[in-house]
Structure 1
Amino acid sequence: MDEAHNASRYTLWQMVLYMLRLGALGFGGPVALVGYMHRDLVEDRKWISDSDYKEGLALAQMAPGPLAAQLGIYLGYVHYRILGATLAGIAFVLPSFLMVVALGWAYVRFGGLSWMQAVFYGVGAAVIGIIAMSAKKLTDKSIKKDKLLWAIYLLLVVVTVVTESEVAWLFIASGVLVWFLRAPPKWFAGSSLNAAALAHVPLAAGMLGTTGAPLLAKIALFFGKAGAFVFGSGLAIVPFLYGGVVQEHHWLNDKQFVDAVAVAMITPGPVVITVGFIGFLIAGFAGAVVAALATFIPCYLFTIIPAPYFKKYGKLPGVVAFVDGITAAAIGAITGSVIVLARRSMVDIPTVVIALATAALLWRFKKLQEPVVIAAAAFAGLVLYPLMHS
C-alpha cells in the first residue's frame, strides 16, 4: 500500500472528487465516459498510466456489468486499492442516481415527462457527436498502425452494427488470438477448468428465478442478473431490461420503458443508472435503491476480485498481448455502438446538423466542456422539436 501511495500523483480525495464531477457532468454514455477518463486521468493529469488504463478497460470489457462504472472502480483501485475502488465507484454512481430518483418522483407526481421528447431530440443527436469523438480518440491511441488490431477492431465494428449488441465471446476470442500469435503460451493447463466455469454461467443465471418472491426481492434478483450476466455497456443491457421489466414481469408499459431509457440518456453518469428510475417507478425509493445496488454490486465484485492479478501479472508478454486484443475488440464494439445509436438519434436534417456541429466544435475547441454542449443541444431540441412535429 505504501508503494502504491508513493507512486501516485494525487490523493484519494482528489480521485473521489473527480469521480463525483464525472458522475455529475459526464454526458454521453459509456463510450464518452471511458473517453473522458482517458483524456482527463491519462493525458491531462497523468494520474493513471496508459498501461493501467488499458488493463482496466480490458478487465471492464471482459467482465459482465456496466463498462464505465467498472473502469472507474478499477482506476480507483490502481493506487488506493479496495478503499479507492469503493469510494471511486460510489462517487461515480451517486450523482446520477440522485438525479434519476428525482426525475422518477417528478414523473410519478406530474404524470409523465412531456418535455422529455423535445429535450432528447436535441441531446440524443449531440451525444452522437460526443461519443464519435471519444471513439476516434480511443482508436487513434490504442490501435495505431497495428494491422492485426485493426482487423479485430473492424470485425467488432461490423458485428456490433449488424447485431446491434455486443457479442461477449468475441472479446475473449480476440484476446486469445493476439496472445497465441504474439506470445504463445508454453502450456495450456487450466483451460479446461476455465471452460467448465464458463459453462455454468447460464445455469447460475437460470437459478436466479424470481417466482413467488416479494416485490423488492424480485427486483433484487432480476437486477442482480442484469448486473451479473449482461456484458458490455448500456447498449447491451437495454434489451435485457426490456425483456424482464416489460414483457416478463409487466412492471412497466412500453412508453414508461422508453421514457426510462430517455432519462438515462439526458442525465450524466452511466447509462445503466436508468435502473434507479425503473426501480422508483416499480416500488418507490426503496425500489430505486434495491435496483441500483443489485445492478452495481456484481460489477464491483467482478472488478476488485481479479484486479490484484491484473496488477501482478499485467506486464507479462502473454497478458499484454491478451489485453491488446481485448482492447482492440472493445474499442471496435464502442465504435460500432456509435453507428447503432446514430441511426436511432439522427432522424432528420436538424438532428444530423446538431450531431455534426457537436463533433466539429469538439474537434476545433479541445477544451470545450461537454455539459455546455449538452445544455445548448437541449435548448435546440426544445425549440426545434415542436417545429418539426407540428
Structure 2
Amino acid sequence: MNKNTQTPKMVSFAEAFRFWLKLGFISFGGPAGQIAIMHQELVERRRWISERRFLHALNYCMVLPGPEATQLAAYIGWLMHRTWGGIVAGGLFVLPSLFILIALSWIYIAFGEVPLIAGMFYGIKPAVTAIVIHATHRIGSRALKNSLLWAIAAAAFVAIFALNAPFPAIVAVAALIGYVGGHITPAKFSASGSHAAAKKSYGLALIGDDTPTPQHALFSYFRLAQIAVVGALLWLIPMALLTAACGWQHTLTQMGWFFTKAALLTFGGAYAVLPYVYQGAAGQYGWLTPTQMIDGLALGETTPGPLIMVVTFVGFVGGYVKAVFGPNSQFLAGAVAASLVTWFTFMPSFLFIFAGGPLIETTHNDLKFTAPLTAITAAVVGVILNLALFFGYHVLWPKGFAGSFDAISALIAIAAAVALFRYQRNVVHVIGACALIGLVIKLAGGAG
C-alpha cells in the first residue's frame, strides 16, 4: 500500500519545535525560496498540511504588510499548536538570523573588510539569484493554473517593472479582478484543480482540505479583543519605557517609532520598503551611510531568514555608531538597538496572524473569499519575478550597465541554476558550494 494513502500521525509540539528551529537556519533565498522550502517540507514530504490549505494561508500572508514567509510559518504553527505554536514557528524563523546578523554586523563595523566573509558573499549572491528564480518557477507552476491567471501575473510584472506601479495598487487591482472574475467565471479562480493535484501527488495530509477547523482557530469577538489589547500593550510598554528612560528624541526611541511605521508599509516584502528605510535611516536620522546600507542589504540577502532582516543591520550600525550607551559599550548598544528594531518590525506580523487567522480559516471553502486571493497570488508571482531580475542585475552588473559584466558571477549563477533545476539539489548544499567557490576565487584574486 502507498504510504501516502494514510493520514500522517499527529505531530508533537517538540517535533514541530525541532523542525521550525531547523527551518530558521536553512531559510535562504528570500521569501520565494523560503516558501518553496516550506512547501517541500510541510506539503510534499511531511504532509502536515494539504496543498490547498497551504496556498490559502499563503494568499492571506501575501496580502498582509510584513514578511510573508515568517507569517506563513507562524500561521501553520498556530494552526497546529495554538498560539504558542505560532510564536515558536515565527520566532524561530527570525531568531537565528537576528543572532547571525548581530555577529556579522559587529565584524563589519568593527573590523572593516574581511576577506573570508567577502569571498563567501561573492559566491552566495549569484547562488541566491538562481534560488529565487527557481523558487519563482515552483510557485508559479502551482499558482498559475490557467491562461487568465498567467495574464494577471504578466500584467503585474509589466506594471511593476515598466510602470513602477506601487505594490499595494497591484494587490488591490488583482483582488478586484478576482472578486469580479469569481462571479463571472468561477472555474478560473477555483482552487479545485490544485486540490485534486495535491491529493494525487502528495496524499492525505494531517491538516487536509476537509479537516475541520480546530477549536482554537474558530473566530471569536472576545478573543479578537484579547489579541488587540495584548498587541497594544506589547507595543505601548516598550515604547513608554524607552520614552521615559531616554526621551522621545533619543536614538533608540526614534528607532522604535520609525520601524513601527516601516512594519506597516512592507507590502511586497523587503524591496518594497527599502526606499522608505533608506530615506529615513541614511537620510533623515543618519544612523548609517548609503554605502553601509548597500552592504547591509548584501548581508540580509545572504543570511537565513527574511530579507527584511536588513533592518537588524541598520539598528546595529545606528546604535553602535551613535554609541547610545557610551564609547565603551558600543557592541552592547548595537545589539540592543538591533533587537529593538527587530521587535518593532516583526511584532505586528504575529498580531495579524492571531487576529486574522480565524477569519481566514472560515473562508477556505468560500469562493467569494478565495477568488480575490487566488488572483493576488498570481499577481505576486509576477512581482517576485521582477525582484529576481532586479537582484540578478545588481549581481551581474555590480556597477550598473555602464560598468563591466561579472562573468564569474554569471557562471556561478548558471551552475547553481543547473544544480537546482536539473539535479534538484538541496538549497543549503547549493549555498554552501557556491560560498566555497566564491571564497576560493576571492583568495586567488580572481574577482575584483
Note the alpha carbon deviations across 1:200-253, whole angstroms, 9 max, x for none: xxxxxxxxxx99522111010111111112212122122221111101111101
**Hey, what's the Cα distance between the residues in 2 that align with 1:29 and 1:342?**
13
Which residues in structure 2 correspond to 1:80-95 (within 5 Å)? 80-95=81-96
- For the 8 Å contact 1:160–1:337, the answer to whether it is kept is no
Distance 1:223 1:163 in 2: 28
Task: Give the letter aligned to residue 376 of structure 1.
Answer: A
Counterpart of 2:298 in structure 1 is 262
Match of 2:418 among 351, 360, 364: 360
For the Cα contact (< 8 Å) 1:19–1:91, is it kept in 2?
A: yes
- 1:159 alignment partner in structure 2: 159
The 2-side partners of 1:77 and 1:272 are apart by: 22
Aligned equivalent of 2:374, options 324, 340, 361: 324
> How far apart are residue 8 of structure 1 and its match?
7.5
Asked if structure 2 preserves the Cα contact closer than 8 Å seen for 1:52 and 1:78, the reply is: no
Alignment partner, residue 446 of structure 2:
387
Partner residue in 1 for 2:112: 111
Q: In structure 2, how many angstroms separate the alpha carbons of the residues matched to 1:326 and 1:261? A: 27
Give the conservation status (yes or no) of the 8 Å contact 1:276–1:291: yes
Residue 195 of structure 1 is matched in structure 2 by none
Distance 1:288 1:359 in 2: 34
Aligned length: 358
Report the TM-score when normalising by structure 2.
0.75
Deviations 1:170-225 (A, max 9, x none): 113212212212236xxxxxxxxxxxxxxxxxxxxxxxxx9952211101011111
* 1:183 match: secondary structure: helix
CA contact (8 A) 1:58 1:330 kept: no
Distance 2:109 2:178 in 1: 51
Contact 2:128 2:302 in 1 (8 A): no
Q: Which amino acid aligns with 1:349?
A: A
Give the Cα–Cα distance (whole angstroms) in 1 for the partners of residues 10 and 411 of structure 2.
41
Q: Residue 113 of structure 1: CA displacement?
A: 4.2
Q: Return the offset for 1:81.
A: 3.0
**Bigger CA drift: 223-232 or 174-183?**
174-183
Q: Does 1:281 align with 2:317?
A: yes
Counterpart of 1:249 in structure 2 is 285
CA distance in 2, matches of 1:297, 1:320: 27
Q: Which residue of 2 aligns with 1:55?
A: 56
User: More displaced, 214-223 or 340-349?
Assistant: 340-349
User: Which residue identity does 2:314 align to in structure 1?
Assistant: I
Q: Is the 8 A contact 1:156 1:333 kept in 2?
A: yes
TM-score (ref. length: structure 1):
0.86
Instruction: Indicate the SS of the match to 2:49.
Output: coil
Q: Which amino acid counterpart does residue 170 of structure 2 have in structure 1? A: L
* Residues 364 and 78 of structure 1: CA distance in aligned 2, closer, same or farther (over 3 Å): same
Corresponding residue number in structure 2 for 1:19: 20
Which residue of structure 2 lines up, in the alignment, with residue 139 of structure 1?
140
CA RMSD of aligned residues (A): 2.3
**Deviation readout 1:36-75 (Å, 9 max, x if unpaired):** 1111111221111112211222111111111211111112
Bigger Rg over Cα: 2
Gaps of 5+ in 2: 1-6, 185-242, 320-333, 398-405
Determine the C-alpha separation between the residues in 2 that align with 1:81 and 1:166: 35
- Asked whether the 8 Å contact 2:67–2:270 carries over to 1, the reply is yes
Measure how far apart 1:84 and its partner are: 1.6
Structure 2 vs 1, CA of residues 240 and 117 (structure 1 numbering), >3 Å: closer, same or farther? farther
Measured after TM superposition, the shift of residue 20 of structure 1 is: 1.6
Secondary structure at 2:268 match in 1: coil
Paired AA for residue 93 in structure 1:
V
Partner of residue 148, structure 1: 148
Alpha-carbon distance in 2 for matches of 1:244, 1:48:
40
- 1:371 counterpart (422, 428, 441): 428
User: Equivalences for 1:187-266 in 2 at 5 Å?
Assistant: 212-266=248-302
For 1:171, the equivalent position in structure 2 comes to: 171
Equivalent residues of 2:17, 2:88 under 8 A apart: yes
What amino acid maps onto 2:103 in structure 1? A
The verdict on how the C-alpha distance between 1:59 and 1:360 changes in structure 2, with shifts beyond 3 A counting, is same
**Equivalence for 2:78:** 77
User: Alpha-carbon deviation of 1:80?
Assistant: 2.3
**1:350 matched residue in structure 2:** 408
Moved more, 17-26 or 244-253: 17-26
* Cα distance, 1:376–1:288 mapped onto 2, change above 3 Å: same
Cα 1:331/1:9, change in 2 over 3 Å:
farther
Read off the aligned partner of 1:375 and give its amino acid letter: G
